[in-house]
Amino acid sequence: MLPHTSKSGAFSEDGDSGAAVINGWGVVVGILTGGGGSSKVSDCMYVTPIAFLLECLEALGFHANIFPVAADVVV
């Protein structure tokens, strides 16, 4: 939800862990991993950066491609 202000409500809710977090251009920037919940003065969420996760997967021998490009279609 853009823009996110103090009147927007909570950024996430129970059960949202593991959801992709995207920026304003639609690019995945992380995975929601938890949060402290919202209050009148703050809304604390924890996001693990996608670059870190991809590096960890690569180190384990997994070659994840989260930005696949569709193959050309010949008609």
pLDDT in tens, 35-56: 766 666 667 788 999 999 999 9
68-73: average pLDDT? 64
Cα dihedral across residues 64, 56, 13, 41: positive or negative: negative
Mean pLDDT of the chain: 79
DSSP lists the bridge partners of residue 22 as 28
Cα dihedral across residues 49, 51, 54, 56: positive or negative: negative
- SS3 state at 43: strand
Q: What pTM value is reported for the model?
A: 0.68
List own/partner pairs for 63-66 with CB under 8 A and 24 or more apart: 66/28
